[in-house]
Amino acid sequence: MSNYFSNDQIDLLAKAKSEKKYIHLKNENENLKEVMNINNLNKLISMHNCWDQKNFSLVLNKNKVPFSAFLTTGDALGFAKMAPDPTKVENYIKKGASLVLNDLVYFSKEIEKLASDLQTITNGRCQANLYFSMQSHQAFAPHFDTHDVFALHCEGEKLWNIYDNIEKDPINHPIYKQELSDKTEKPGKIIDQVLLKPGDLLYLPRGQFHDALASKNGAMHIAFGITYLKPIDIFQYYYEQFIVNDYFRSDIRDINSTDEMKDIHTKITAQLNNILNNDKLYEHSLNYFKKWPYKFTCYDVKQLINDGVQYEVVKNISIIEEEEKLFLVNEKHKVPVPEKFTKITKFAFENKIVSYKSIKSRFNNIEDETINEFINAMKNMKVFI
């Protein structure tokens, strides 16, 4: 079940994804407008000690501002670590700098829900970055991203230029990190302009050249980046298998001709074929694919409180019954269990993990005092850990 998308929208996005064709979904769903707004942004960036060089950056005139240029030790402001100084950051924004916040999934339940929806639609893993820009200041030159992007527009307006060229399946590797001068030549001509308003979603396939310009002050969007499993990931996943392969570790000596080299290549191919083509590995790779999307996880403190403290029965102690009497035994000792504890002891050893609550719900006729006495005795005898 999707939190944010209608079935029609899911179909459109899935189609765009499979055809690798950009698509603009105009807002039909009010919920999408509520994922992020200026008030939320304000709260978010005011949690000063959450931000560091990895997740907080400013981009001015297409260049990243050095992190050290807007830092404070936080001593005077009440946070005990180096973090962005709000006054310095605001000054940069006044000058037209764009703010970029990375890795936001766990900073907002709404962002997490949308990321989760997009993972379900795409089978990819999703990260979310936020971009906040002032009017007419372009943070980034025309570029492509190395993953699919679902840009959710949140505030103000931004005009996106879609360029003709699509880089073929780029990855995050130095080979694909072009110099700025290359970038201006490669996008090709503008083939479409898309004006994004709050609640709109723009899907851009991996490699599609684009840029965006805020047409009002305070334009904000969240880019949900989707990364898919690639054959190169599968190749890396099995890298250890290549290392333990005897042939791959052997020494190559005295090669004098391309024919001899060709033999080696043939053997490498045969070994790769041996390693990769077996039913067990297909199953393994299928599981890798299934587990590829991030498993967004949160704490459940209410459940923790409700379950109460849990006790685990140690492995080297067991119980035996002799002449209708119960004993705790390990390698050296054999201790009789008092009659009043017999049932609870059996229950504890059957379940391996127990809590006051689990004992009470199983034996509601046993006094609280007896249960507490039992737990303390087990703890003292190091039966429970």
* Footprint on this chain of Fe ion (rule: CB under 5 A): 145
Nearer to Fe ion, 125 or 210 (CB): 210
Quote the least distance from Cβ 137 to Fe ion, whole Å.
16
- Which of 121, 112, 113, 114 lies closest to 7 in space, CA to CA? 121
Map tokens 């080696």 to a residue. 264
Map tokens 């499993």 to a residue. 229
The Cβ of residue 300 has, within 10 Å, a number of other Cβ atoms equal to: 10
163 within 8 A of 189, measured Cβ to Cβ: yes
Nearer to Fe ion, 59 or 328 (CB): 59
Nearer to Fe ion, 85 or 145 (CB): 145
Quote the least distance from Cβ 221 to Fe ion, whole Å.
10
Nearer to Fe ion, 48 or 158 (CB): 158
Distance CA 353, CA 218 (A): 54
The Cβ of residue 340 has, within 10 Å, a number of other Cβ atoms equal to: 12
Nearer to Fe ion, 22 or 51 (CB): 22
Nearer to Fe ion, 204 or 378 (CB): 204
Quote the least distance from Cβ 117 to Fe ion, whole Å.
21
121 within 8 A of 13, measured Cβ to Cβ: yes
SS3 183: helix
Quote the least distance from Cβ 38 to Fe ion, whole Å.
22
Quote the least distance from Cβ 231 to Fe ion, whole Å.
24
Phi and psi based region of residue 157 (left: phi greater than 0; alpha: psi -120 to 50; beta: remaining) = beta
Map tokens 């008092």 to a residue. 338
Quote the least distance from Cβ 149 to Fe ion, whole Å.
6
Nearer to Fe ion, 187 or 328 (CB): 187
Distance CA 65, CA 69 (A): 7
Quote the least distance from Cβ 143 to Fe ion, whole Å.
6
- Which of 104, 154, 152 lies closest to 127 in space, CA to CA? 104
Quote the least distance from Cβ 264 to Fe ion, whole Å.
43
Task: Report CA-CA distances (Å) from 343 to 248, 263, 317, 385.
Answer: 60, 72, 17, 20
Backbone torsions φ then ψ of 366, nearest 5 degrees = -85, 135
Quote the least distance from Cβ 145 to Fe ion, whole Å.
5
The percent of the chain in helix, strand and coil, each rounded to the nearest 5, is: 40, 25, 35
Backbone torsions φ then ψ of 33, nearest 5 degrees = -70, -20
Q: Which residue is nearest to Fe ion (CB)?
A: 145
CA atoms within 13 A on the CB side of 326: 15
Q: Beta strand pairing status for 63-64 and 71-72?
A: unpaired
Quote the least distance from Cβ 131 to Fe ion, whole Å.
9
CA atoms within 13 A on the CB side of 221: 28
